[in-house]
Amino acid sequence: MNRDEATTVIAQGLRGIAPEADLDEVRSDKPLQDELDLDSMDFLNLMVAIAESTGIEIPERDYPKVDTLDGLVAYLVDAS
Amino acid sequence: MPSLGADMDSGTLLEWKVAVGDTVAKGDIVAVVDTEKSDIEVETFHAGVITELLVEEGTEVEVGTPLAVIDDGAAPAPPAETHPEPEPAVEPTPEPEPEPAAEPAPQAGDAAERPPVVHSPIVRHLAEERGIDLSTVQGTGPGGAVTRRDLDAVAAPADRPAASTAASAPTTTPPRPTEDGSRVRSSPLARRRADELGVDLGSVTGSGPDGAVTIADVEAAAGELPTTPAPASPAPAPTPPPEEAATDRSATVRAATGRLMARSKREIPHYYLSTTIDLHDALEWLERTNRDRPVTERILPAALLLRAVVVALGDQPRLNGSWVDDELRTADRVDLGVGVALRGGGLIAPVIPAADTLGLVETMDALRGLVGRARSGRLKGSDLGEASVTVTNLGDQGVESVYGVIAPPQVAVVGFGAIGERPWAVEGMLTVRRVVTATLSADHRATDGHEGARFLSTLDQLLHEPDRLSEGTPS
């Protein structure tokens, strides 16, 4: 998976969680939860959506690595 | 039409999820109903075959109106008219069920056999406030119970349409009196727009339901839009057009919240306590537990906190109940209200019924389902029962503590701030720990600070023994 594909996966995952979210507007080096006003349930649902579409299960201990859009994209690229 | 909340008098049937001839099982979603707060999925309490749909989509009907006929095969279906008594959700055809489901409504029978009419706490309160003797009011609710609308009809002068809850809701811009002293019907949005445009609502002719002033009326009056012909006299319309309903949804949630909170602060002598709890043990335990679970089955700290509240309430049952008729009625189970922040604003508190029968995993499942349904605007009827206690702000808002306002007739609300790292003294050494500030707002008529303090202390202890929280059901 390249960066564009990873970004698409994230955008699709967010559709059911934060339908108004526009990843182009997100500051990609800032905490994603703050940028998109996601609470812990939303974030968990994003992890579930990503796992369902890619098979990549991000363990909780890796959450610090994926707390920004840049980090999450890089993680998915590395993991695929 | 089931009652989906204490202040609901009627609902609009938006959509049938079943058709004549369909076989339904108990708990199946049969319809979607639009209420003031949300679109609600209505479940059937009876199994059988749908033989008739009595209410068309788009129709607003009073609570207690039969919506459909279900044939359970036990007896030939009598015509619906022979069942004028209100039934929960969906009308079963044969004899009254032994189990009257979630919304108890009196069954068929002679008037003499009817149990005493039970009025809702809100209605009793309103009647008292307005000096109305309930026994003199003709009730149109379930079992002849007096509804808010009935009360409004009694209280209102003949020339005033019965005030809907939304129209009479207190908002930042109070409705202005008209010449005859009655209040102008208008949506909260219309009032806000009127305020912005400097329009006197009393001078505007309403074209909405029951002559309500709409945004379009306000804008027309302000000369912003070409004037649309408004009916000369208030003509009751059955329901507002869908687009208006959608626009007004967040405003009605706002208004409903405002009404309830104003009443709470008027009536309930709150007392407030707080304690900061070290979550080190609990979160380490949770992280170990989640390591072995697939992502779809991970448990959030929020579920652990909810579970701890439920278990701690077992030791302090007087915080779990309602204040009705000047006395505390403790509940025999925990119907846990959970404050859920909605995207785009607004807060609703749907309910996890009988949360004290759920283990930790089941509590997480219930929470996930509830939040998902609340945020998608598709709560089920069973999500909107009466809570016996509420927990608020699990929404990661980043604040350290939250002191909730009690939702009457409940007697307590537990609040959790954000979980965050703080310097913390452990065995004489300074370290960094993840902590949460738990608060209790409680009704001083029902409990005093001593009981409240013991509750928070139990909560603290439980969160240091997370194994106790993972056990199936509390004793």
DSSP line for B180-198: TSPBPPB-HHHHHHHHHHT
Residue B338 has pLDDT above 90, yes or no: yes
Return the CATH number of A3-79, one of 2.30.40.10, 2.60.120.10, 1.10.1370.10, 1.10.1200.10.
Answer: 1.10.1200.10
pLDDT of residue B284: 95
Tens digits of residue pLDDT in A33-64: 989 988 889 999 999 999 999 999 999 999 99
Report the pLDDT averaged over residues B399-410.
Answer: 92
pLDDT of residue A56: 95
Residue B126 has pLDDT above 90, yes or no: no
DSSP line for B343-388: TTS-EE--EETTGGG--HHHHHHHHHHHHHHHHTTEEEGGGGS--S
CA distance to partner chain A, nearest, from residue B394 (Å): 9
Q: Are B367 and B420 in contact (CB under 8 A)?
A: no
Measured torsion, CA atoms of residues B369, B372, B374, B380, in degrees rounded to the nearest 10: -40
Q: Are B155 and B128 in contact (CB under 8 A)?
A: no
What pLDDT band is residue B157 in, cutting at 50, 70 and 90?
very low
Chain B interface mutation, best of A36, A37, A39, highest count of B Cβ atoms under 10 Å: A39
CB half-sphere exposure, B4, CA atoms < 13 A? 29
Among residues B195, B227, B193, B190, which one has the least CA distance to residue B209?
A: B190
| Alpha carbon distance B374, B377 (integer Å) | 5
- CA angle, B374 as apex, B373 and B377 as ends, to 5°? 85
Contact A57 B395 (CB under 8 A): no
Enumerate the residues of chain A whose CB falls inside 8 A of the CB of residue B396.
33, 39-40
Contact B300 A57 (CB under 8 A): no
Contact A33 B396 (CB under 8 A): yes
CA distance to partner chain B, nearest, from residue A52 (Å): 9
Q: Write out the residue range of the structural domain in which residue B412 sits.
A: 269-470
Contact B296 A48 (CB under 8 A): yes
pLDDT of residue B105: 39
Let me know whether B26 and B65 are in one domain: yes
Tell me the percentage of chain A whose pLDDT exceeds 70. 100
Q: Range with the lowest mean pLDDT among B61-70, B166-175, B379-388?
A: B166-175
Report the pLDDT averaged over residues B124-146.
Answer: 68
Residue B433 has pLDDT above 70, yes or no: yes
CA distance to partner chain B, nearest, from residue A7 (Å): 20
Question: Which CATH number characterizes residue B445's domain?
Answer: 3.30.559.10
Residue B386 has pLDDT above 80, yes or no: yes
What pLDDT band is residue B405 in, cutting at 50, 70 and 90?
very high
Residue B331 has pLDDT above 60, yes or no: yes
Mean pLDDT of chain B: 76
CA distance to partner chain A, nearest, from residue B305 (Å): 13
Amino acid (one-letter) located at B89:
A
Q: What are phi and psi of A42, to 5 degrees?
A: -60, -45
DSSP line for B426-442: ETTEEEEEEEEEEEEEE
Contact A41 B371 (CB under 8 A): yes
Let me know whether B199 and B252 are in one domain: yes
Query: Could you tell me whether strands B91-92 and B68-71 are parallel, antiparallel, or unpaired per DSSP bridges?
Result: parallel
Here the ipTM equals: 0.89
Tell me the percentage of chain B whose pLDDT exceeds 90. 36
pLDDT of residue B14: 85
CB contacts < 8 A, A to B, total 42
pLDDT of residue B165: 32
> Is the preceding peptide bond at B409 cis, omega within 30 degrees of 0?
yes
Residue B121 belongs to a domain? no
Amino acid (one-letter) located at B243:
E
Contact B287 A60 (CB under 8 A): yes
- Contact residues, chain B to chain A, C-beta under 8 Å: 287, 290-291, 294-296, 298, 300-302, 341, 343-344, 367-368, 371-372, 394-397
Q: Are B90 and B127 in contact (CB under 8 A)?
A: no
Instruction: Please tell me whether the overall predicted TM-score, pTM, comes out greater than 0.80 for this model.
Output: no
Q: Tell which of B240, B267, B294 closes a domain.
A: B267
Number of structural domains chain B divides into: 3
Tens digits of residue pLDDT in B239-293: 444 445 545 667 777 788 888 889 999 999 999 999 999 999 999 999 999 998 9
What pLDDT band is residue B395 in, cutting at 50, 70 and 90?
low
User: Quick check: helix, strand or coil at residue B222?
Assistant: coil
Let me know whether B334 and B443 are in one domain: yes
Residue B119 belongs to a domain? no
User: Quick check: helix, strand or coil at residue B179?
Assistant: coil
Query: What is the radius of gyration, based on Cα positions, of chain B?
Result: 24
Q: Which residue has the tokens 């204040």?
A: B323
Q: Are B404 and B66 in contact (CB under 8 A)?
A: no
Q: Which range, B92-96, B265-269, B392-396, is most confident? A: B265-269
Query: Could you tell me whether strands B412-416 and B389-392 are parallel, antiparallel, or unpaired per DSSP bridges?
Result: parallel
Q: Which range, B39-43, B170-174, B256-260, is most confident? A: B256-260
